Amino acid sequence: MSSAPNHSDPSSDHEPLLDVRGLRVSYQSSRGPVEAVGGVDLRVGRGEFVGVVGESGCGKSTLLFAVAQLLSPPAAITDGSVEFKGQNLVRLTEKQLNALRWRDYSVVMQSAMNALNPVTTIAAQFKDAILAHDRRSAEQIRARSVEVLQLVGIDPVHLGSYPHQLSGGMRQRAMIAMALLFTPDLVIMDEPTSALDVVAQRSLMVQIKELQQLLGFAVVFVTHDMSLVSHFSDRLLVMYAGQVVEAGPTRQVFDAPAHPYSRGLLDAFPSIHGPRVPLTGIPGSPPDLAEPPPGCRFAPRCPVVEEACHRVAPALYPVGGVLSRCLLDAPDRRTPATPVEATS
């Protein structure tokens, strides 16, 4: 998002819980650095639910891992800051980060079967997480483990279960329970419903929202499915080719999407209301980030592309309460912009 005042961001008027500015992440490859996240800004207020959506490969999960400081080579943050509760996480040592992870912020991974230890019981994994941050008696650990499992609707008898003995939905709930062991201020979720059927997805989303409202933690929820966060998130960031192309209140983005890419994503999902209409996909494929196109990165696939789009890199422009990275939304289209690299 741009450095201009973000009128679509309610946390911009006071100290945000999470303040990401100009974040850039690159992967080293045989072809040189590949920038997967290109100058993203993200602000999350306390108790806020922010959705990050976009196609596979657009940089959502890389952004999430960079925010959580969980990147590993060949990926690395090349620029920007990640301030959490006033601390720049990028500058902290691994020991300092370990003191914050799980206690102040936690992460729910995409696949619980891969994230959970397959040869250790749920109880033992909860115990390890608790003892890494606090000295508690066996009785206290057991009581807290029972409490968080009950929060997510799992019978405490499953503390003695191994991950493979649980259903997919139960494993994801167990991961969420583990993330809530210390009632953190922020929970970051990387497509936690992607391995579930639609009924289990809806059930898990409802539970996540209820827990958020009950405990007051903020959520950054990454998904490729826009419809999944339509009724649960407060604000939405739409990413394409490593950049935020639209940001604003969720309902406003859904009701009147400003960017052509956002409209394309919404047109690709069926609606349960109104007349049946044919679904239309977005033609083409995302660009090669090792050699991104000049100008607007969406121009090669855009249905309303103009000549200037191929040479001018748009900024994020305020339009109708949201921010849109499209030259059609520039404040004065009569004065062509100078071709410069977008700042976010």
Q: Which range is least confidently modeled, 43-57, 183-197, 231-245?
A: 183-197
Q: What is the pLDDT of residues 235-283, one digit of tens each?
A: 999 999 999 999 999 999 999 999 999 999 988 777 666 677 777 788 9
- Residue 7 tokens read as 């009128």
pTM of the predicted model as reported, rounded to 2 decimal places = 0.88
Strand partners, 20: 42, 82
Q: How confident is the model at residue 312 (pLDDT cuts 50, 70, 90)?
A: very high
221 neighbors 49 (Cβ within 8 angstroms): yes
Contact at 8 Å (CB) between 211 and 283? no
- What percentage of residues in the chain have a pLDDT greater than 90? 74
- Give 76's strand partners: 26
Q: In the predicted model, is pLDDT for residue 1 greater than 60?
A: no
The Cα–Cα gap between 315 and 318 comes to 10
Query: Count of CB atoms within 10 A of residue 105's CB?
Result: 26
In tens, the pLDDT along 142-174 reads: 999 999 999 999 999 999 999 999 998 899 999
Would the pLDDT of 6 be above 60?
Answer: no
In angstroms, what CA-CA distances link 340 with 41, 311, 312? 18, 9, 7
Exposed/middle/buried for 111, CB within 10 Å: 0-12, 13-18, 19+?
Answer: middle
pLDDT of residue 113: 67
Is the Cβ–Cβ distance between 82 and 92 less than 8 Å? no
β pairing state of 322-324 and 317-319: antiparallel
Helix or strand or coil: residue 309? helix
pLDDT value at position 227?
A: 81
Average pLDDT, the chain: 89
Cβ count within 10 A of residue 132 = 12
> Is CATH 3.40.50.300 the classification given to domain 10-104+220-329?
yes
pLDDT given at position 106: 96
Given a cut of 70, is residue 5 above it in pLDDT? Answer: no
- Quote the pLDDT of residue 271: 67
State the Cα–Cα distance between residues 146 and 90, nearest whole angstrom: 35
Work out the average pLDDT over 216-244: 94
Strand ranges (DSSP E) for 61-217?
75-84, 87-88, 105-108, 186-190
Q: Is 27 helix (H, G, I), strand (E, B) or coil?
A: strand
Confidence check: pLDDT of 339 > 50: no
pLDDT of residue 276: 74
pLDDT band at 343 (very low <50, low <70, confident <90, very high): very low
Assigned token pair, 215? 């405990």
For the packed helices 122-131 and 138-151, what is the interaxial angle rounded to 10 degrees?
A: 120
* In the chain, domain spans: 10-104+220-329
**DSSP bridge partners of 34:** 27
C-alpha 17/C-alpha 10 separation (Å) is: 12
Q: State the residue for tokens 């992870």.
A: 101
**pLDDT for the residue numbered 341:** 44
Strands 322-324 and 243-249: antiparallel
